[in-house]
Chain A
Amino acid sequence: MTIHTTLSRRQFVVSTLTAAGGFALGVGTVPAEAASLSVRPWNDDTTRYPGEINAWVVIQPDDTVIIRYGRAEMGQGSFTALPQIVAEELECDWAFVRPEYASANRNFRENKVYGTLATGGSRAVRETGVIVQQAGASARERLIAAAAKRWNVPTAECEAAMSRITHKPSGRSFRFGELAAEAAAIKLDKEPALKRPDQYKFIGRRLARLDVPLKINGSAKYSIDLEVPGMVRAAVMKCPVFGGTLKSADESKVTSRRGVMQVVKLKDAVAVVADRTYRAQAALKALPIEWEVGAAGTTNSAQFRKAYLDALDQKGAEARHDGNVDAALAKAAKVIEATYDVPIIAHAPMEPLNAIAHVQADRVDVWVGTQNADQALSFAAQASGMKPENVYVHNTFSGGGFGRRLGPDEVAQAVAISKAVGKPVKLVWTREEELRQGRYRTQAAIRFKAGFAVDGTATALEMRNSAGAANPAGVKDGIDPQTLQGLINTAYQLPNYRIISILKNTHVPLGPWRAPGHSQNAFFMESFIDEMAHAAGKDPVQLRRELLAHRPDFQQVLDVLVEKGDWGTPMPAGRGRGIAITEAYDSIVGMIVEVAVKNGQVKADRVVIACDCGTVVNPRGVETQLEGGMIYGLSAALFGEITIKDGRVEQGNFDTYPVVRFKDAPKTEVYISPTPGKRWGGVGEPGATVIQPAVTNAIFAATGRRLRSLPVVGQDLNGAV
């Protein structure tokens, strides 16, 4: 199954693009041919090529431009967007661009030369964009300097375009590939200035994604698809009560099964190793296992829900206080109060977690589609006892991540199993394992109080929030900034505003779920803002405009939403429109949702999305992330609920953990409305936030029922309309 077909790969991509039509980029200065991505875009070797101009850019003698990509590609498209930014400054021919994953091993050995390889916080373009833009500009200037030196002319007489440096007065030119090794040796006195946005000719283009041709014919390689010589396969089950340990596993019941090689007992898990995945999975099902579950084995969801709601009465920590909320509420003409809560939810990426590990005497290799190659390296080092500098992580395409692949538990397990059996091992989780061994979005509750003046002006807003911290190490003085995202940094301005945070963790492991913090907090905040509008007798858009009067960028997003979303136009009985807006990861995203409620069933028919994310690298990339984020959040709003019984997760697959399918997916329109001069906003996560309150606000508009808990499914809307 080894595939080394760089040349035929290129030919394939070109012929596919031609056949499809409409993808030729050949206008003006834009190259006619697309860059290409390998079906295996990771670099197994650590060769330092002579044409490595900096850690991000390598130019080969044949003009191929290798652009290192320091994030995961799990569907979000930045494997195309970041090289697009490099190419803008480098002035290379896009046809020569061949991106590949940056090496995690090198990142460790060379003191974080690529920064963090973790892919979270919608940071790929938002944070790495300017770094790789500078790397591209630096490479260009050094190529120019190398050419000027050869010709003995001033650099000002030379210019870069389409992978050539040309001496303008004489018309002489060199290919980039002829200059790369010399350019690599050149030191610049100072780093060149970056292009101004009005000079961009490549950033902002609706380029085709480089990975799409590989994803329509089954050729893209995810770690689950790989095979290494001598590999065996494993299935694993971890103690279903989080924190529990393995008491016993009677391997004699399965070792005689065909293909079964070994039962590996870990402290908190047991794995069956076999020659085939199916045989390992079937044997694991047949394996008698006993667990030591401890006190957590008696817990259930009803207890947890009560505990989070009860916690709202605890003292907590003051996370923010503007003005004097107590005084303002005391003299308010009207005060309203409401309590909201959300359950635990799981990530459920399409590709179940999996990894291949090969532990040898002097090195560990891991093949894994991970959102966090740095962490994968560190987990592999811990699990093997090897020094981190001897661990190599070969990052592959990921079949979705959404935060789950930030905590590479599967890597630690695969390494431990490989160490135990002395062979390369491919470990594949079942869907059941994936849903039952998550790093979940926290259960959370919140109680709001709002005060109004006689004229309906909102004067005070207070909230007491109880939620878990996904990263207890980030907690300081009882406050976790991630847990409070969207509340602590709200764009709404009220003279009196207070947040009390009550952090509460249980035995359920928590992790970042697409837009952590923002996800549940947008539901809370945007639902209660809606309640405040109705309490004050105001249109929900009007109250938002008032509280955002200081933010013209928000106002223009609201303008777009109101116009495109037909806000204010009548809806037939049983239908309603809801709005929600927030700022997350430097982007403003608002949505208007139309729902129909019939016989207690809710269907989202249409969603209009408006976004100000500042500079747009690839408009289609922004659109698809907002569309996809919206669907992800819609699954949570309509269906998302993990329940605990006897300390363990009850759901196991898509039959008991339903997600949005075609029939649930609304017609969607996206309008990108950037404010000039703003920084590059992240778009991977914000879409997953405001859909949740927009749906429940629409249900309120349709039925008069205010849903203060999620998910929507199972709640009584019968008789509402």
Chain B
Amino acid sequence: MVNISVNGTSHQVDVEDETPLLWVLREEIGLTGTKFGCGIAQCGACTVHVNGQAVRSCSVPVKTVAGAQITTIEGLSPNSNHPVQQAWLTEQVPQCGYCQSGQIMATVAFLKTNPNPSDADIDANLTNICRCGTYERLRRAVHRAAALMRT
């Protein structure tokens, strides 16, 4: 049994300690917005926040986040109105959309550390993969979100 807190709700889950957080979120708690892409923390499709930090949940054993505050894409905002989500909508970023939960979560955490990033900052710090190739629009959306959050 592991106790975890997800989007403000605590859950007691009956899984092996080493179960990746990703699969606990998806199959024990039923939050499927966090995606399985690679299983080895390469692609970032599974990015969630643990105590506000972006982590790749496919490679985080659930027992290591017991007691931590976990936020998934579903818990980011009540009405999809987080500035990062708004920027994604305005810039029409998603194509297949499968990586975008992770892109959004990575960006939210990144903008906390760098509220006014340059393109070079974005390129150096955001490493999530998008196979549809939305990077140009992603960059624009990161800048737009940063501007929204500064106002």
Contacts and interface: CB of A to CB of B under 8 A. Distances in A.
Q: Which of A278, A281, A351 gathers most chain B CB within 10 Å?
A: A278
B73 interface: yes
Contacts of B30: 1, 227
Interface string A655-684: 100011111010110000000000000000
B68 interface: no
Contact of B101 (A16, A213, A218): A218
Contact of A667 (B33, B76, B136): B136
Contacts of B100: 215-216
A615 interface: no
B31 interface: yes
A482 B60 CA distance: 45
Interface string A279-303: 0010000000000000000000000
A219 B33 contact: yes
A653 B27 contact: no
In this complex, the member of A217, A220, A221 whose beta carbon has the largest number of chain B beta carbons within 10 angstroms is A217
B38 A654 contact: yes
Nearest to B28: A276
A660 B135 contact: yes
B34 A620 contact: no
A76 B96 CA distance: 7
B138 A662 contact: yes
B7 to A, nearest CB: 11
A350 B129 contact: yes
> Residue among B20, B37, B101, B128 with the most chain A CB within 10 A?
B37
Contact of B27 (A278, A629, A654): A278
B79 A402 contact: no
B96 A16 contact: no
B96 A661 contact: no
B109 interface: no
Interface in A466-495: none
A276 B39 contact: no
Interface string B29-43: 011111111111011
A598 B39 CA distance: 33
Contacts of B104: 216
Interface residues of A, number: 72
A74 interface: yes
A120 interface: no
Given A276-B27, A663-B124, A215 B131 contact: no
A620 B94 CA distance: 12
Interface in B123-137: 123-124, 126-137
B139 to A, nearest CB: 7
A277 B15 CA distance: 12
A277 B32 CA distance: 13
Interface string A219-262: 11110110100000100000000000000000000000010000
Contacts of B73: 217-218
Given A277-B27, A661-B127, A220 B97 contact: yes
Given A218-B34, A399-B98, A19 B40 contact: no
5 contacts: A19-B79, A19-B86, A653-B42, A662-B138, A665-B135
